[in-house]
Amino acid sequence: MNLLTISELDKEQITTLLERAALLKERHKSGIPYHPLRGKTLALVFSKASTRTRVSFETAMFHLGGNAIFISHRDSQVGRGEPIKDTARVMSRYVDAVVIRTFGHEIIEEYASYSDVPVINGLTDMHHPCQVLADLLTIKENRGTLKGLKIAWIGDGNNMANSWVEAAVKCGFDLTLASPPGYELDEAIISRARADADGEILQTSSVAKAAEGADVLNTDVWASMGQEEEQRERIKSFKDYQINNKTVALANKNVMVMHCLPAHRGEEITEDVLEGSRSVVFDQAENRLHIQKAILEWLMLPHDA
Ligand code: CP
Ligand code: NVA
C-alpha cells in the first residue's frame, strides 16, 4: 500500500485519516505517550528542498517511537544517477516505509513499482497529497465539515491545485480555481473530476469569481520548485493573482486564508493577509505532523482494510 495521490484514497479512508489525526493530535497535546512504531524506520529520499515535510515526518516518527533517515540527492547516490529501481529495492531491504520528494510524478510511480515497502508522496511536480490532507484537517477543525464549503484556489494550476481538485471529488466541497491564461490545470483533469464530483469544480481566469463568497482562500507560489528559470516571466503573468485585502473583502466574513508555505510575501499573498487574523497558515504547517502520524500508522501497522 502506498500514498501517492489523493485520488487513490476513498471517501471513508480520508474521513478515517482525518479523524485519527485529530485524535493523535489531542493525545499528543495531552502528553500521552504512544509508540506503536518502535523498531521501525522511515527513509526520506528527497531530490528537492524541504523544511516542513522533512521535519514533520522525522518528528512524527520520533513521536511514534520509530526512527527516520533523511537522504538528500546532494549527498547520496540518488543525485549521481543510481537507477530508481535499484534505490527502491535497496531501501526495501533496510527500512519499513519511504517518503519520496521528487520532480516528475512518473519517478515516484516507478519507485513504488519496485518497492516492497509503502511509498508516501512528499511532493512531486503533479501532486502534494500530505499537504492537502493536512489542509483538510485544518478546515475541519475550523468549520466542522468540508461538505458544501466554497473553496477558492488563486494562482498556479500546479501540484497543490491538482491535489485540491482530487480532494474536491472525494470530499464534496465546491472548488473554483482562478489561474492566469496558460497556467491553468489541464482541462482534461477538470472534466474528469467534474464527472465524479458531488460539488462544483470550476476553472476561471477571474479572481473575483473564485473569491466571492468563499469560505477558504488558498494560494501557493507563482513558480514552484523546478520552475526557477520561469520566475521573472511568471511574475508578469501572475501579478493580478494575489490574495490581498481586496480579495479577502470579496470572501465570506469568516474566510480562512490558506497557504502551504513557503510563501513569497508581496507576490501570491500580501504580508498583512498572511499575518492577519484570517490566516491559518501555521495551523496548516502544524497539522502536517498530525496527519502524517495517521498516515504512517495506517501504512506501517497491520490493519484489516
Ligand atoms: N509545504 C511544504 O511541503 O513545505 P516544505 O517544502 O518546506 O516541505
Ligand atoms: N507548489 C510548490 C509547493 C511547495 C510546498 C512547489 O512545488 O514548489
CA–centroid distance, 258 to ligand 2, in Å, is: 14
Among protein residues, the one whose CA lies closest to atom 1 of ligand 2: 224
Predicted confidence (pLDDT) per residue in 45-96, tens digit = 999 999 999 999 999 999 999 999 999 999 899 999 999 999 999 999 999 9
The stretch 142-150 carries a mean pLDDT of 97
In the block, residue with C-alpha cell 537507477: 83
Domains 6-128+287-300 and 130-284 equal at CATH topology level: yes
The pLDDT of residue 305: 54
The stretch 194-218 carries a mean pLDDT of 97
Q: Which fold has domain 6-128+287-300?
A: Rossmann fold (3.40.50)
CA–centroid distance, 125 to ligand 1, in Å, is: 13
Predicted confidence (pLDDT) per residue in 149-188, tens digit = 999 999 999 999 999 999 999 999 999 999 999 999 999 9
C-alpha cell at 33: 505517550
Predicted confidence (pLDDT) per residue in 118-127, tens digit = 999 999 999 9
For the chain, which residues make up each domain, given as ranges? 6-128+287-300, 130-284
Whether 222 shows a pLDDT value over 70: the answer reads yes
**HSE-up (13 A, CA, CB side) for residue 246:** 6
Q: Give the residue, out of 123, 135, 220, with the most ligand 1 atoms within 8 A of its beta carbon, to mutate for a pocket test.
A: 123
**What's the Cα-to-Cα distance from 117 to each of 99, 140, 175, 262, rounded to whole Å?**
10, 31, 34, 30
292 is an active site residue: no
- CATH (residue range 130-284): 3.40.50.1370
Q: Which residue among 203, 220, 259, 278 is the active-site one?
A: 220
Among protein residues, the one whose CA lies closest to atom 2 of ligand 2: 224
Q: Look up the pTM and report it.
A: 0.98
φ/ψ of 268, rounded to 5, equals: -70, -15
Q: Cβ atoms within 10 A of the Cβ of 148, count? A: 12
